[in-house]
Homo-oligomer: A and B are copies of this chain.
Amino acid sequence: MNRKNVTIQDIANTANVSKSTVSRVLNDSTPVDAKKRAAVLKAMKNLDFKPNVFARILAGGRSMTLGIVTQNIGSPFYDSVTMGVINGLADTGYSPIIADGQWNQERELVAVRTLIERQVDGLIMVGGNLDSSTLREACHGVPVVQIARYLEDCKERCICIDNVAAAKRATEFLIEAGHRNIAHIAGISDHEDSIDRLKGYQQALTDANIVVRDELIVQGDFSAQSGVLALETLLLRGVAFSAVFAANDEMAFGVRLALFRAGKRVPEDVSIIGFDDQPNSAYMIPPLTTVSQPALEMGAAASKMLVSAIAEKPFEIPMLPVELVVRESVTRLR
């Protein structure tokens, strides 16, 4: 721009070395004599040198930029994850660029391509639908970390929780409280999380010798509004139920509201359990029992993992605690 920036040439001059040497200490790509190195470092500090990202990448280096592909910006859970990623990137020297896939394979692919075109050093996928071979191809070898989704063929790059186990645990909690007629509000039908949570629900029932009844299962789409509709559907069907396990908190909110409108008390008449432990869940009336999925931590872990992958350093996937958060929306029967 207008203000002349100091370049490696400048610092090369004041340190009495060549540009290359400066470049070397900058990337410590090659060993450099300790004295010269010190001189360079000092010059850099004195002149307040900041490498030009664009020149650097043009010459074939790193862009120090990471791409984040989100889905449907505005959803509490995914937004939290995204924010976790951004926070995790603070002080790593990497800056995030965001693109939205909108849960649409085509747009998702465009998002990935845009990011790759911008020469991101790595990519973080938050959710998504793209099949892994397409994804891999679009990435041209740029490392990718996948959050909240399990890709069979690159498990070591996926950060996600065991939805089946978590959903099973939630359902078991209801069973242990004496509930037998437990309804389930499922999420988007072809979404892996929905499928797994439904599976966990079914397993818990089966293990407890309770018959899985289709009339107690309603299809939602993860939105609060769909929770309302789902519960109304349930009411319309006329089946008896003393508890509802919703595949996410949003739908649980909808269920709660529908019960309120129908004059049913929670938890006296119907118990509710959600999934995600989104921040507001603790402030529902009554506070919602739910499964906490550590969105921020998942995001942070992903960013660390990616940074390590770029540096070709090993990284151990941290234990991501998924726990049942017991609040007042569930009652013990009898």
Binding site for B on A (CB under 8 A): 1-3, 50, 52-55, 57-58, 63, 65, 73-74, 76, 79-80, 83, 86-87, 90, 95-100, 114, 117-119, 140-141, 224, 253-254, 256-257, 260, 279-280, 282-287, 296
A and B contact pairs by CB, cutoff 8 A, 21 listed:
A1-B119, A1-B140, A53-B117, A53-B118, A54-B54, A54-B57, A65-B97, A73-B87, A74-B83, A79-B79, A86-B100, A95-B97, A95-B114, A95-B118, A97-B97, A224-B279, A253-B280, A253-B283, A256-B283, A257-B285, A284-B285
Given known A-B contacts A79-B79, A98-B98, A140-B1, A117 and B50 have beta carbons under 8 A apart: yes
Are A285 and B285 closer than 8 Å at their CB atoms?
yes
Query: Within the complex, what minimum Cβ distance (angstroms) separates A277 from chain B?
Result: 14
Are A96 and B97 closer than 8 Å at their CB atoms?
yes
Query: Within the complex, what minimum Cβ distance (angstroms) separates A115 from chain B?
Result: 8
Query: Within the complex, what minimum Cβ distance (angstroms) separates A49 from chain B?
Result: 12
Q: A2-B141, A53-B119 are in contact. List 6 more A-B contacts (CB 8 A).
A: A58-B58, A73-B86, A76-B76, A95-B118, A96-B98, A284-B284
Which residue on chain B has the smallest CB distance to residue A83?
B73
Query: Within the complex, what minimum Cβ distance (angstroms) separates A167 from chain B?
Result: 22
A79 touches which of B83, B114, B296 (Cβ 8 Å): B83
- Complex Cα distance, B96 from A189, in Å, reads 32
- Complex Cα distance, B279 from A119, in Å, reads 36
Closest 7 CB pairs of A and B: A253-B283, A73-B83, A285-B285, A54-B54, A54-B58, A54-B57, A280-B280
